[in-house]
Amino acid sequence: MNIGIPKEVKSYEYRVGMIPSGIEYILSKKKEVRFFVERGAGLGSGFSDDSYRNAGATIVDSAEQLFKEADLIVKVKEPLSSEYGFITPKHTLFTYFHFSSSMELTQAMINSKATCIAYETVKKIDGSLPLLTPMSEVAGRLSIQQGAKYLEKAFGGKGKLLGGIPGILPAKVMIIGGGVVGTQAAKMAAGLGARVYLFEINPQRVRYLNDIFPPNIVVLYANQAEITKHLKDTDLVIGAVLIPGAKAPKVINREMLKLLEKGSVLVDVAIDQGGCFETSRPTTHLDPVYEVDGVLHYCVPNMPGAVPQTSTLGLTYNTLPYIEKIVTQGVDNALLIDKELNSGLSIQNGSILDAQVALFYRNNT
C-alpha cells in the first residue's frame, strides 16, 4: 500500500495528517508500505521534510504527484476544488469531510468513485466520536480565547474583560451544547472568572454536567424561551451543538440576535456543520469576524488549524490506530471487520453509505 500525506490547502490550515513518528510506527508494523509526503506538509506543525525522510518517507513536489503515487490519502481537512481532479476510484481518503455542509464536495466525491472515510463519524461502541473529540477539545478551549479577544474594543467588541475585576461584574458567557466543545469552553470561561450559562438538550448530560461543574457554571435545559430570556445581558455566545452527520440546528435566529447588546460576540463552533446561528456564514483565519446588527460573528470552520502544534499531535495520536488497521488488514477487510472504522464510511464507488449524508443529499437535489 502507498500512503500519501498532502500539504493542506485550506486557508491558514497548518495541521498535517501524519507525523514522522506515526510513519515509523506503521513501518514497524508493515515494512512493505511506502509513504509519500508533499514538500513542506509538516512545516506548520513543526516537522521538517528531513524529519519525514528520516522516518522513511519520500518527499514529492506536488499534490498531483502525491495523488498519483498513493492509494490511501491521510489528510486533515476535506478536499477543496483544486484537489478534486486528483481523486480517482483507486483512492481511499481518510480525513474530515463534514459532507452536510457542502453539496459541491458531496457531489465531487460521488463523481470521483473514491472511498471516503470521514473522521467525524468514526464512532466507538459507547457512541463517542474519537476523531472529533480531540479537535473539539481544542476548538472548545480556543472559542473562549477568541471570544475574549473579540470582546476587546480594539477588535470591535463592546470592551469587556471576561473575568471582570474585584468589585466589577464579570462578563456573561452563554454556551449552547454541552458536549466536548461546550464542556471545554465552559471550563475555560469559568477558569477566567466569567459567569457561565450552559444550555443542553440531553437530560442525562444536564445532570452529569451539573454534578461536575464549579458553581460559576449554571447548567440549564436548552429551549428557545430559556435561551431568549438569557440573551439580553449576555456578552459572549458559543455555539457548540451537534447532531452527528447532520446540519446543525439553528438555536439563535435573526430576531433573537437583536436582543444582544452591540459589541457582543458570537463564536459559532458548529459552523463546520452549517452553523447553529441563522446569521452565521463560514469565515477564515485570515478574516475571521464580521458584524450583523452590531454583533460580531466568529465562524471559522477549522479553528484547530490556528494551533497546529497542539492540534496535529491530538489528531494524529488518535487516527494512528485506524491507519494501522487499514494498513495491516487492507481497506476492504478493515471496513468489514472494524465497526468503528465502518461508521466513518460515507461514500464509496459513487454511492452514499451514511444515512445523514444521504438525507442531506436527497434534500438538496
Number of residues that bind ligand NAD (CB under 6 A): 33
Residue 3 sits in the site that holds ligand NAD (CB under 6 A) = no
CB closer to ligand NAD out of 139 and 260 = 139
Catalytic residue among 235, 272, 297, 354: 272
The catalytic residue among 98, 268, 297, 354 is: 98
Taking the complex as a whole, how short is the minimal distance between the CB of residue 91 and ligand NAD, in angstroms? 24
User: Shortest distance, CB of residue 139 to ligand NAD, whole angstroms?
Assistant: 3
Binders in 229-248 for ligand NAD, by CB under 6 A: 240-243, 248
Assess whether 272 carries a catalytic annotation. Answer: yes
Assess 270 for contact with ligand NAD (CB under 6 A).
yes
Q: Smallest distance, Å, CB 130 to ligand NAD?
A: 11
Q: Per CB under 6 A, does 302 bind ligand NAD?
A: yes
Of 8-16, 52-60, 301-309, 335-343, the window that binds ligand NAD (rule: CB under 6 A) is 301-309
Q: Which is nearer to ligand NAD, 326 or 357 (CB)?
A: 357
Q: Is 271 in the site for ligand NAD (CB under 6 A)?
A: yes
Interaction of residue 275 with ligand NAD, rule CB under 6 A: no
Give min distance, CB of 273 to ligand NAD, in A: 4
User: Please, which of residues 150-209 interact with ligand NAD by CB under 6 A?
Assistant: 176-182, 199-202, 205
Annotation marks residue 50 as catalytic: no
Taking CB under 6 A as the criterion, the residue among 303, 331, 334, 345 binding ligand NAD is: 303
Three-state secondary structure string covering the chain? CEEEECCCCCCCCCCCCCCHHHHHHHHHHCCCCEEEEECCCCHHHCCCHHHHHHHCCEEECCHHHHHHHCCEEECCCCCCHHHHCCCCCCCEEEECCCHHHCHHHHHHHHHHCCEEEEHHHCCCCCCCCCCCHHHHHHHHHHHHHHHHHHCCHHHCCCCCCCCCECCECCCEEEEECCCHHHHHHHHHHHHCCCEEEEEECCHHHHHHHHHHCCCCEEEEECCHHHHHHHHCCCCEEEECCCCCCCCCCCCECHHHHCCCCCCCEEEEHHHHHCCCECCCCCCCCCCCEEEECCEEEECCCCHHHHCHHHHHHHHHHHHHHHHHHHHHHCHHHHHHHCHHHHCCEEEECCEECCHHHHHHHHHCC
List interacting residues with ligand NAD (CB under 6 A): 132, 135-136, 139, 176-182, 199-202, 205, 222, 240-243, 248-249, 251, 269-273, 301-304
**Which active-site residues does the annotation give?**
98, 272
